[in-house]
Structure 1
Amino acid sequence: MKKILIADHHPVVRKGISCMLDQEGSFEIIAKANNGDELYKYLEKEQPDILIMEIDMPQISGINALRSIKTQFPETRVLIFSIHPEEIYALRAIKSGAAGYVPKTASTKLFLKAIRQIAKGGIFLNEELTSTFTKRNVGESSAISRYKKLSSREIEVLNLLSSGKRNKDIANELNINEKTVSTYKTRLLKKLKVDNLADLIHQSRMFQFG
């Protein structure tokens, strides 16, 4: 059973998420945070498998908070459940370490689909968003499709590479050896269809929207 931490400053939202997940039977709500201070306290104390969070809440600095959480608690998978529209924040959030992004305008069915996929170790991004980018730019949409196929660990490595980290630094931060980092880099080059590290970093920055 996956341990869930809910972070949202609206009591009705916290209650609604709890009710949805209680009916699933495979999730345990271990804590609910109303602000940033409570969120970090529960992350340290409870070490949840999945964090469902709003990035716009008291004592939280949006995407920067997400990056901080993933740095300090790399094993916790994060689903952003936000009032902000997907086209502004979704890809940027995933590039910053989120495992999925669901707007609060989404259906219960979509929310549950996202949480199930994340619980299995996958990345969730609404197909409608990909479709939107297809209309805007076919090449960009192809890059999005490739990006969506990356594992959560590959995305973590890509994030660290794009921030200028060396193999040794990445190995230390993720508690893996340097050879494993090199293996991930090779996989990323192949999956994102680029020839060198510079192009890899350039493509990763395509996902910084908003």
Structure 2
Amino acid sequence: MIKVLVADSHPIVQAGIASVLSGFKDIQISGTVGTTTELFEYLSKKKPNIVMLEMDIPEVNGITALRKLKKEYPDVKVLMYSAQPEDVYALSTLRAGASGYLSKGGDTSLIAEAITKIYNGGVFITNELAQRLAVDESTNKPRRFFRKLSTREIEVLKLLAAGKRNKHVAEELNLNEKTVSTYKARLMRKLNVDNLVDMLQQAKALELLQ
């Protein structure tokens, strides 16, 4: 039996995932949590096989929560899911320790497929994403541009886009403000801009942000 913990702040989403998986005898929803505090409280008591972790779960950035989870519970596998652009955040979450990534815009049948593949030791991304990643950069630069950015750079970019100041970005990612400033300067250089507004506009144009 594959035991799955769903970490999402929306009860309707929790119920929807449970409903989709109810038809699979070898998959069981072992629990649901709505915040990262609840997530780690649950993991301190019970160990599911897989955590389905929503990227924008409250309190802590999803990738930060993922890193903490994998550090403290390395045997627990994580399936990240989000409404964020699959092309950007799939690789970022995989680099941070996830075993798979699902877009909320995908078919619900992919949930059980992803869980089963991850449980059996595989890594899950959709066939469509795999095909896009295989496209030569010269023919699809906007969608491949994000590969120039590190996982941490994308984390910083996402928080800046949410209106966070350097101080708050530093606190959330456990960095000092000087390091955040360095990341911001690096992002501006890679995106070929010289101010924050243009950086965020360029990121959106390149589909790095919604």
TM-score bracket, normalised by the shorter chain, equals 0.5 to 0.7
Whole-Å separation in 1 of the counterparts to 2:28 and 2:113 = 17
1:36 aligned partner: 36
Conserved? CA contact 2:53–2:62, under 8 Å: no
Residues 43-80 of structure 1 show CA distances to partners (whole Å, capped at 9, x for unaligned) of 11111110001020211212121111100010100001
2:62 aligned partner: 62
1:73 aligned partner: 73
1:14 aligned partner: 14
Conserved? CA contact 1:63–1:96, under 8 Å: yes
Give structure 2 stretches of 5+ with no counterpart.
139-207
Whole-Å separation in 1 of the counterparts to 2:51 and 2:78 = 5
Conserved? CA contact 1:30–1:46, under 8 Å: no
The residue type equivalent to 1:112 in the other structure is A
Whole-Å separation in 1 of the counterparts to 2:39 and 2:83 = 18
- 1:95 and 2:100 equivalent? no
Classify 1:87/1:59 alpha carbon distance in 2 versus 1 (closer, same or farther; 3 Å): same
Conserved? CA contact 2:67–2:96, under 8 Å: yes
1:47 aligned partner: 47
- SS of the equivalent of 2:56 reads coil
TM-score of the pair, normalised by structure 2: 0.63
- SS of the equivalent of 2:80 reads strand
The residue type equivalent to 1:54 in the other structure is E
Identity across aligned pairs (percent)?
Answer: 37
Give structure 1 stretches of 5+ with no counterpart.
139-208
The residue type equivalent to 1:2 in the other structure is I
Matches within 5 A, 1:124-163: 124-137=124-137
Residues 97-125 of structure 1 show CA distances to partners (whole Å, capped at 9, x for unaligned) of 10100010010122221111112121101
TM-score of the pair, normalised by structure 1: 0.63
Whole-Å separation in 2 of the counterparts to 1:85 and 1:108 = 17
More helix per residue: 1
- SS of the equivalent of 1:15 reads helix
The residue type equivalent to 1:62 in the other structure is G
2:84 aligned partner: 84
Conserved? CA contact 1:80–1:101, under 8 Å: yes
The residue type equivalent to 2:131 in the other structure is S
The residue type equivalent to 2:30 in the other structure is I
Whole-Å separation in 2 of the counterparts to 1:21 and 1:120 = 17
- SS of the equivalent of 2:135 reads helix
- 1:108 and 2:108 equivalent? yes
Task: Find runs of 4+ consecutive structure 1 residues off by over 3 angstroms.
Answer: none
Whole-Å separation in 2 of the counterparts to 1:11 and 1:119 = 25
1:91 to partner: Cα distance? 0.6
The residue type equivalent to 1:86 in the other structure is E
The residue type equivalent to 1:118 in the other structure is I
1:136 to partner: Cα distance? 4.1
1:4 aligned partner: 4
